[in-house]
Amino acid sequence: MDTSNNKVITFYDIILDPTAYPISPNPWKTRYALNFAKVPYRTTWVPLAAVAETRNALQLPANRKHADGSDFPTLPIIRDPLAATTSGSEVVVGDSFDIALHLQNTYLSNNPPSSSSNDPSSAAAGQQQQQQGQLFPADGSGTVALHRAFNAFVDQIFSQYGAPLAGFYMPLDPRTAESDKAAFVRRIPGVTRWEDLEIPKGSEVRSKMLAEFESALDTKLGPCFPSPAPADGAKGGPQGTGPFMDGRQLPIYADFIVGGWLQFMRGCLPEWEDMRNKWSGGKWGRLLDALEPWADVDGREGVVPARR
């Protein structure tokens, strides 16, 4: 959907180590969704210490709250000049779920965006995208609410186990590591020192937490995704033959929600190889692989994942 005036969406992601593949889970959900919607965009890479002022500059309030009720300003944000409002200004959306809804409603639903409804090439592109799938499959009033709860559920599971097990091992730029660590500690109420975030490798507490994480994923999310042996599908599991939720051939936004967190685990979790290949019979690695067609990273040319 390249428009005549070359307008593109601006997508704000967090940058830590510029030599490392991106890892932030919520921006990853948005990257997948942008690629899926086939909209033109450019990524603006924001240092962790500059996230709050970036939101302020765009007059966006903090989109999340810490457990103690204090503001938790984070990314992603998109600025979309293609979906101009009636007043002519660009649309600014500052939450990953709202961004997915915006992309669905503007670029994927049957209605092409009103600002370009007279553009035949845009309408044709819209029809093509329609055939290519939907972030929120529509039936009657759609699956938005089910997705909203799914997003909260997945965030809860990964925040409870994945973030504390993996966050300490984020790839940081040695030149800015101290300020990144300080910015990260400020994001977590009750924590004052970076060192307090470590759950030492090989420790008993870490082994126990890893086992709980594996079990929570397997029992709570595992049944939503296809098993390797097709025969399993006959026993109440997903019935389709595709690699995505419910055995679909194309992902929906729910697949990208899990995929965003898997990108974070791949980038940070020391035990990633086990999680990828052994947990739930290799289900999580297969899902990440199946999402690869929508995983293009803009603006970090030549930076590849440190591991698959």
Q: C-beta of 108: minimal distance to a copy of itself in Å?
A: 13
Cα–Cα distance measured from residue 162 to residue 175, given in angstroms and rounded to the nearest whole number: 26
139 binds a copy of itself (CB under 8 A): yes
Residues 80-99 binding a copy of itself (CB under 8 A) are: 98
Question: What is the distance between the alpha carbons of residues 46 and 52, in angstroms, rounded to a whole number?
Answer: 10
Least separation in angstroms between residue 95's CB and a copy of itself is 9
Contact 189, 53 (CB under 8 A): no
**Nearest approach, Cβ of 151 to a copy of itself (angstroms)?**
10
Rg (alpha carbons) of the chain, rounded to whole number: 20
Distance CA 257, CA 275 (A): 17
**Residue closer to a copy of itself (CB basis): 19 or 114:** 114
The residues that bridge with 15 in the sheet, in sequence order, are: 47
By CB under 8 A, which span of 173-181, 196-204, 221-229, 300-308 interacts with a copy of itself? 221-229
Pairing, β 41-47 against β 9-15: parallel
Asked if residue 60 binds a copy of itself (CB under 8 A), the reply is no
Note whether 224 binds a copy of itself by CB under 8 A: yes
Q: Give helix 253-268 / helix 96-103 axis angle, nearest 10°.
A: 140
Which lies closer to a copy of itself via its Cβ, residue 174 or residue 235? 235
Q: Is 142 in the site for a copy of itself (CB under 8 A)?
A: yes
Rounded to an integer, what distance in angstroms lies between the CA atom of residue 66 and that of residue 84? 32
Which residue ranges make up the site for a copy of itself (CB under 8 A)? 98, 101, 137-150, 152-154, 156, 219-221, 223-225, 236, 238-240, 242, 245-248, 250, 254
